[in-house]
Chain A
């Protein structure tokens, strides 16, 4: 059983809109609303997956009253977040994702 839902909080969208084309973002944290069984592994990856920032694992439970925030320290122009499990019988259900980022530079020099 697989399910995932991507949801960006207002802060994340605002950051994206405020950045200029080519501006660098400093990704500082990710917050999930996720349930399941096993361990959720997360990564931030750059364009073409040239660089990667492995994020701390989240131990999943079928029910939780917490939305864990995991820290990141990753600077890229654009990045995407991925989550996965790697062992048999592991499941996850993601209902919310918040990515915290802020502008850090206007762009790479010529």
Chain B
């Protein structure tokens, strides 16, 4: 599990309605670095939109004013900071990345003490209203947050905010005499947005390169580094698949059914190779539900085959069995399991 922050938008799109021509958005700078900072707010210091500034107040006397600003996100711009690290793009997110939640905090402030009266802010994602806030009082600033489900199930492609639009629509409905900033002038002048959430890695892959081609019935051990920063958690194993290419170049993929999972603890996974796998190089993909990690990927440290007797060689006079010992990279002698003889039953 790690933290996720959207650091910026890819582009500020159209500004329409009553905001067109008078409002602009500042991307990727802090709330506290705005041109005329009136207050500071550490929580909003780094947001994906640090400021929306409108240079002209609404008409006087004010009529209902409606405008909106659209922010765009794409897959190639470095937008995502994982655990405070430098931002990376959606396309560069680690394999198995899944955002679990995203909360958008906003603060709509008056310009140096000017109140925002009778103003409604509507938040849309892809033209679907996801949040609305109304300020009917005389508060100088108003702020809040809403959580948007950005995930479509457990699907890697379910980061819904990507490729779509976040639109903030502002409705200013205060009536009265113009020219009074404290009532409705310079509305919407300082506004910031921060999007933060959480993520985890639920899928990981590695390549098995045994000396001999693996085949049905082989036992394979997979371990993760318990001392690593982000060891993958096998205890929450959901699925495991093997992918390989046969000698004709045809790709294959086969699921390892749970009945073949022999052991799956936090750092250890042992399974039996299912029927049909014959590859020399096999890619193992593991899906889990937890990942105690941050931006650096957990790694599958070691893969080796369980001790096996291999191919027997008849040795005259040999009185024990010889096994390969992977722990020591050598062979060990093991006894035969209690050789015995029995007579038939004696008695009537």
List of A residues within 8 angstroms of B345 by Cβ: 47, 78-80
Q: Decide: A6 and B344 in contact? CB cutoff 8 A.
A: yes
Complex interface bits, A8-39 against B, C-beta within 8 A gives 1, otherwise 0: 10001000100111110101000000000100
List of B residues within 8 angstroms of A91 by Cβ: 319
Q: In the complex, what's the smallest C-beta–C-beta distance from A30 to chain B, in angstroms?
A: 10
Q: Known contacts being A16-B347, A88-B320, A89-B320, is A4 close to B333, with CB within 8 Å?
A: no
**CB < 8 Å neighbour of A23 from B317, B340, B348:** B348
List of A residues within 8 angstroms of B342 by Cβ: 80-82
How many inter-chain residue pairs (CB < 8 Å) link A and B? 76
A97 at the interface (CB under 8 A from B): yes
Q: Known contacts being A1-B319, A6-B343, A89-B320, is A19 close to B348, with CB within 8 Å?
A: yes
Most A C-beta atoms less than 10 A away, residue of B317, B320, B341 = B341
Q: In the complex, what's the smallest C-beta–C-beta distance from A37 to chain B, in angstroms?
A: 8
B346 at the interface (CB under 8 A from A): yes
Q: Known contacts being A16-B348, A86-B338, is A80 close to B319, with CB within 8 Å?
A: no
Which residue on chain A has the smallest CB distance to residue B340?
A84
Q: Known contacts being A1-B317, A1-B319, A90-B319, is A85 close to B346, with CB within 8 Å?
A: no
Q: In the complex, what's the smallest C-beta–C-beta distance from A70 to chain B, in angstroms?
A: 15
The interface size of chain B toward A, counting residues with CB under 8 Å, comes to: 19
Restricting to A64-80, which residues have a CB under 8 Å from any CB of B?
76-80
Q: Decide: B341 and A83 in contact? CB cutoff 8 A.
A: yes
Q: Decide: A80 and B346 in contact? CB cutoff 8 A.
A: yes
B339 at the interface (CB under 8 A from A): yes
Which residue on chain B has the smallest CB distance to residue A7?
B343
Q: In the bound complex, what is the Cα–Cα distance between A91 and B348 (angstroms)? A: 33
Q: In the bound complex, what is the Cα–Cα distance between A81 and B344 (angstroms)? A: 8
In the complex, 8 of the A-B residue pairs with CB atoms within 8 angstroms, ordered by the A residue number, are A12-B346, A27-B346, A78-B345, A78-B348, A79-B347, A84-B341, A85-B338, A88-B319
The chain A residues found within 8 Å of chain B, CB to CB, are: 1-2, 4, 6, 8, 12, 16, 19-23, 25, 27, 37, 47, 76-92, 94, 97, 99, 101
The chain B residues found within 8 Å of chain A, CB to CB, are: 317-320, 333-336, 338-348
